[in-house]
Chain A
């Protein structure tokens, strides 16, 4: 029961948005897995907590699709880590994901706030 409470404040990621969020995070520069988790956590004002069980499969899937590439190098604290970097095709993908997401949010908003537009 304790575990369930821990997760109470977090929101489950909408299906398919994880890839977009990862690519977005990588726009600011190469980052390792832990860094991505932290970045998403802080930037979402501690609302989003990405599961490692989803993150790593997602990173490797993105790499296989050629949207990111990875390289082992040193962190600031002199630790060896695998850094992921967005590729040119990754950027294109991000743009199109972003676009689709905006339309989706708009559509959902229109449904949820029927009077808003009028």
Chain B
């Protein structure tokens, strides 16, 4: 800039020199000094113009002009701070909502997997009569490796069973351990940062002899448990009591499977004889492959289908063969996003986009109103020679400054709202600690420019197009809008009303959904229950009985706490989403009945004493477990009504009571003694699933499913009137005393669990309330702004009407009628929009139809009532006009 100023001075001096020389020569010729200087100037012409054109030769005059425009825009804002603030806040609402949504979308849907060329990573799955199979027997993966050509390499992995604890330098921490093929890291394209990882050979991907007890740590496991010590390689570490030798540490930021909830460690899967079978293999695996460069997904899948047809022929059991007749190839990245989450996020992004549009339209209205006030000023600028382009640019730059202010404030709003919704985001979308990053800022920048163009372009063009003369001729301050502009503004308000109605209807439908969910019969009590989810350190109880040595004393102590009414244990409380056991029948054969039984799946749950006291489960028929059921007595089972329906294809509980469904040991067959009434198990919106319950006190280490049911996870549920803050420390002390690993047990209330299980509806509803509320406010301010401006412009006309005998009521009616017309038009347009959004919203609804008349009527009523209320203020202002005053002005 400095250099720039010098250049301008330079040219000025040059021109002055020229004039001086010309004048001097004229004086020499005998002219008087004044005459000489005057004629020299005349001959020179317009010095300013010469200066400007000369300077423009250096091609940087635009910077100068823009700086000028910026300074001017800043002065304009300072002159009308209330107006500027209004515009900035309005834009901030729209931009903030959009930025917050994009932050979430970016994190969930556009997340960058930190593997090289992640788009070439694919999951391979078998599919058949019962859809896609998540896990594959190893022999099939082996066949794929041998027979396909689309993939660089195929790796496989599976989770180690149970809850596992890595014993670090100071404490044991829960980790997730994966059993992986030795080539997994090379398939992913990532090498350890320390050590060389697992020895790999082309011929087979299981651990080389002697390598079964090696482990590769994730960076976080290495840092958390071993303080990042450098001498980690070759050390023997214990995972749930088992020794493993560390052969590597993966780089920071690496995880597989992606985005785990616990630190991960990887162990080379050891080959067992049971791996080499397709008939009920003990372990099955997930297969992940890297596509060769240039191979398309569809080509790879076509090849896999051909190969799989041959693989299926290797199955000897027709039932199993039917399940694996075809194959699927899926991008690994896609498998990480749940379809309903994706749908919810896209719908919410749409809603935030609508809110942004409403904000822009609102600002357009505000700027148009402002332009009327500034008509004279702009006309003067035009009269002084500002080109139309210059005026448009000036107004656009003002728009940009306002928009930039809006986006700064919007960014603040986005950050604040992400903090407010952090809990919902974590439980329903599984995103933690999201904050806007560079990409979000970039999008915000684009939106800022978009908002400026969208909202300021139209008013700017309209102002520049307006003819100069009439504006100048009019007396100051009373410049009026022409009919066309007034219509335009009404149209903008109508658009806002329509879009707000659309958001509000969606919001209303979701509110009805939440109401329906809250009133859905859960089948159990949720009040005054605290739940602690324990990860069981089974290895500490090796050779002992968990039931007698851990659970019984824990339960006894919990019951003994003051203020505890009752307490129980359960593998997973209803709606808990922590640990699910699936039960299936061990049936052979391919008769119709056998196939039906083999297809049958039920949830298996172990419950402790007093479960009924804590949760108030209702029996449909028969009895629940009681003190008479012990480790020595006849094993008994309780099923639920959905089980009866599915199992016996009838609603008759007697068809199931007395049945032998499973055996605790070879000679201890359990019989069904009762049927529970239906209850919600997975989510509030999901109907009852078949379920079998076993009684925890009847289990012993010799029971076939002792570890699966008793040794992985257990929920402690306590019914107490005491506030959680007072009883929690006591419960935590209990846990710590029972076993040090249990100190980290996470406690929450049953009410919160129910709340969290509403699923996406909860967060969608909350966000829609925010979006809808903001839209309504913007829309009301639009109505108010337009009408109060119209009233002030029509002061004289209203004065005349009142002088001619119109009453206050008639004037109020006149203004309200105008509001009513806009509201009616907006509502009609809005209902038309609702017709289109209905199909999007439909998927999120429970217990309410997408075009629910009640909701539509209620939202319409709300909009009319609040719209008329917003119009009442200007109407009153109009009625208060003193006809004599009004006629005297001007």
Contact = CB atoms under 8 A, between A and B. Distances in A.
Interface of A: 32-34, 51-53, 56-57, 59-61, 64, 75, 77, 79-82
The interface centre, meaning the residue of B13, B21, B46, B59 with most chain A CB atoms within 10 A of its CB, is: B21
Interface in B8-51: 10-11, 13-15, 17-18, 20-22, 24, 44-46, 49-50
B44 A82 contact: no
B142 interface: no
Given A52-B45, A52-B50, A53-B46, A33 B18 contact: yes
A77 B58 CA distance: 31
A81 B57 CA distance: 20
A79 B18 CA distance: 11
Contacts of B20: 79
Interface residues of B, number: 23
B626 interface: no
A55 to B, nearest CB: 9
A77 B24 CA distance: 10
Contact of B54 (A32, A34, A56, A81): A56
12 contacts: A52-B50, A53-B45, A53-B50, A56-B11, A57-B50, A57-B57, A60-B11, A60-B58, A64-B57, A75-B21, A79-B21, A81-B21
A53 B24 contact: no
Contacts of A77: 24
A51 B45 contact: yes
A101 to B, nearest CB: 23
B17 A79 contact: yes
B259 interface: no
Given A53-B46, A56-B14, A34 B21 contact: yes
Nearest to B44: A52
A59 B54 CA distance: 8
Nearest to A77: B24
Contacts of B50: 52-53, 56-57
Q: Which 6 A-B pairs have the closest CB atoms?
A: A60-B57, A34-B21, A56-B54, A61-B57, A57-B53, A81-B17
B57 A80 contact: no
A33 B54 contact: no
A6 B54 CA distance: 25
B56 interface: yes
Contacts of B24: 77
Nearest to A34: B21
A57 B50 CA distance: 7
Interface in B360-384: none
Contacts of B22: 34
A80 B53 contact: no
Contacts of B49: 53
Interface of B: 10-11, 13-15, 17-18, 20-22, 24, 44-46, 49-50, 53-59
Contacts of A32: 17-18, 21
Contact of A57 (B13, B17, B46, B56): B56
A81 B15 CA distance: 10
Contacts of B57: 57, 60-61, 64
Contacts, number: 55
Contacts of B15: 52, 56
A51 B21 CA distance: 16
B37 to A, nearest CB: 14
Contacts of A59: 54
Task: Classify the secondary structure of B's interface with A.
Answer: helix
Contacts of A75: 21
Given A53-B46, A77-B24, A34 B18 contact: yes
B134 to A, nearest CB: 70
A60 B49 CA distance: 15
Contacts of A52: 15, 18, 44-45, 50
A46 B21 CA distance: 19
Contact of B14 (A51, A79, A82): A82
Contacts of A79: 17, 20-21
A65 B38 CA distance: 34
Nearest to A62: B57
B12 to A, nearest CB: 11
The interface centre, meaning the residue of A34, A61, A82 with most chain B CB atoms within 10 A of its CB, is: A34
Given A34-B21, A60-B54, A80-B17, 13 more contacts: A33-B14, A34-B22, A52-B18, A53-B45, A53-B53, A56-B11, A57-B50, A59-B54, A60-B11, A64-B59, A79-B20, A81-B14, A81-B17
A18 B24 CA distance: 26
A60 B54 CA distance: 6
A81 B19 CA distance: 11
Nearest to B46: A53
Contacts of B13: 82
Nearest to A6: B43
A82 B10 CA distance: 9
The interface centre, meaning the residue of A53, A59, A61 with most chain B CB atoms within 10 A of its CB, is: A53
Given A51-B45, A53-B45, A53-B49, A34 B58 contact: no
Contacts of B17: 32-34, 79-82
A33 B14 CA distance: 8
The interface centre, meaning the residue of A53, A56, A59, A81 with most chain B CB atoms within 10 A of its CB, is: A56
Contacts of A80: 17
A77 B13 CA distance: 17
A52 B20 CA distance: 14
A77 B23 CA distance: 13
Contacts of B10: 82
Nearest to A80: B17
A75 B22 CA distance: 14
Contacts of B59: 64
A52 B45 CA distance: 8
B29 to A, nearest CB: 13
Contacts of A81: 14, 17, 21
Contacts of B53: 53, 56-57
A56 B53 CA distance: 8
A65 B198 CA distance: 67
A44 B58 CA distance: 30
A63 B56 CA distance: 13
A61 B11 CA distance: 13
Contacts of A51: 45
Nearest to B52: A57
Contacts of B54: 56-57, 59-60
A77 B25 CA distance: 11
Contacts of A64: 57-59
Contacts of B46: 53
Contacts of B58: 60, 64
A64 B54 CA distance: 11
A35 to B, nearest CB: 8
Nearest to A49: B43
Nearest to A56: B54
A32 B21 CA distance: 10
The interface centre, meaning the residue of A52, A75, A79 with most chain B CB atoms within 10 A of its CB, is: A52
Contacts of A60: 11, 54-55, 57-58
A81 B277 CA distance: 100
A93 B205 CA distance: 75
Contacts of A33: 14, 17-18
A52 B49 CA distance: 10
A117 B770 CA distance: 89
A91 B675 CA distance: 107
A82 B7 CA distance: 13
A16 to B, nearest CB: 16
Nearest to B53: A57
A64 B13 CA distance: 19
A32 B44 CA distance: 15
Contacts of A53: 45-46, 49-50, 53
A43 B22 CA distance: 18
A115 to B, nearest CB: 43
Contacts of A56: 11, 14-15, 50, 53-54
A31 to B, nearest CB: 12
Contacts of B45: 51-53
B213 to A, nearest CB: 77
